[in-house]
């Protein structure tokens, strides 16, 4: 079991799940738990979290550059245009997770996203972020895998036809996009307020 906190080579305390991996340290410090907005950015997170199901996040993180390359930087309009030829090419690409159901779900999810006005997906996703004070987890054991909010988010997305958006997957998305802040007590990021960021690189 991971320690609740781990001290990095720079002397900073971080959430224990980081371990001694340099890329995990960067991700923990620069991305995880920072508020993220934008239809494209949230679609990317949803897609990658879906691919992660059953695997470790570090596997996805290391493959993310290739995912972005072959999935047209997760620009929804471009992914929505993928057809059988692109699906077969993706199934042959060892640089990503070659799961046909997840590949086809990503394309289908992009098409659903385009049915709504620009910015609606961002508003929908963030509508499930908890409001009011929330106790910071004291240990990794206090970090939930699923919450009532992630169950509600999952149900809303499934009701619209989105796939690979289960409650546990959606809670992981809520953590990574800063909808919740699960840095444990004592982590150097726990004391650092994070401004909302956009990473949409053209939502359409």
Q: Are 30 and 183 in contact (CB under 8 A)?
A: no
112: Cβ contacts below 8 Å, ≥ 6 apart: 160, 161, 162
Contacts 24+ apart (CB under 8 A), 191-197: 194/33, 194/34, 194/35, 195/35, 196/35, 196/36, 196/37, 197/34, 197/35, 197/36, 197/37
| Separation between Cα atoms, residue 36 and residue 199, nearest integer Å | 7
Catalytic residue, from 57, 86, 104, 118: name it: 57
| Separation between Cα atoms, residue 110 and residue 20, nearest integer Å | 35
Q: Are 140 and 89 in contact (CB under 8 A)?
A: no
Report the pLDDT value the prediction gives residue 199, as an integer from 0 to 100: 64
SS3 37: strand
- Tell me which residue of 49, 84, 85 sits closest to 64, measured CA to CA: 49
- Pairing of β 197-198 and β 36-37: parallel
Does 183 belong to an annotated binding site? yes
Report the pLDDT value the prediction gives residue 54, as an integer from 0 to 100: 82
SS3 102: helix
Residues of the chain with pLDDT under 70: 1-2, 192-204
Q: 49 an active-site residue?
A: yes
Q: 57 an active-site residue?
A: yes
Q: Are 95 and 63 in contact (CB under 8 A)?
A: yes
Catalytic residue, from 27, 31, 86, 118: name it: 27
Report the pLDDT value the prediction gives residue 204, as an integer from 0 to 100: 47
Does 110 belong to an annotated binding site? no
Catalytic residue, from 24, 49, 126, 171: name it: 49
199: Cβ contacts below 8 Å, ≥ 6 apart: 36, 38, 40, 41
Report the pLDDT value the prediction gives residue 134, as an integer from 0 to 100: 84
186: Cβ contacts below 8 Å, ≥ 6 apart: 4, 5, 13
């Amino acid at each position: 079991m991971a320690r609740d906190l781990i001290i990095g080579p720079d002397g900073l305390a971080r959430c224990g799940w980081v371990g001694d991996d340099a890329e995990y340290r960067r991700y923990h410090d620069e991305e995880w738990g920072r508020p993220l907005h934008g239809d494209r950015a949230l679609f990317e997170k949803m897609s990658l979290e879906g691919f992660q199901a059953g695997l470790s996040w570090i596997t996805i993180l290391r493959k993310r550059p290739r995912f972005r390359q072959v999935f047209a930087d997760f620009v929804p309009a471009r992914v929505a245009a993928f057809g059988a030829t692109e699906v077969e090419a993706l199934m042959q690409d060892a640089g990503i997770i070659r799961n046909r159901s997840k590949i086809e779900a990503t394309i289908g999810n992009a098409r659903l996203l385009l049915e709504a006005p620009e910015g609606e997906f961002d508003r929908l996703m963030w509508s499930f972020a908890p409001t009011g004070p929330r106790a910071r987890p004291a240990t990794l054991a206090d970090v939930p895998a699923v919450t009532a909010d992630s169950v509600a988010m999952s149900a809303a997305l499934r009701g619209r036809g989105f796939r690979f958006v289960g409650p546990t997957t959606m809670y992981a998305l809520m953590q990574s996009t800063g909808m919740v802040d699960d840095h444990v007590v004592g982590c150097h990021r726990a004391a650092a307020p994070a401004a909302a960021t956009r990473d949409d690189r053209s939502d359409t």
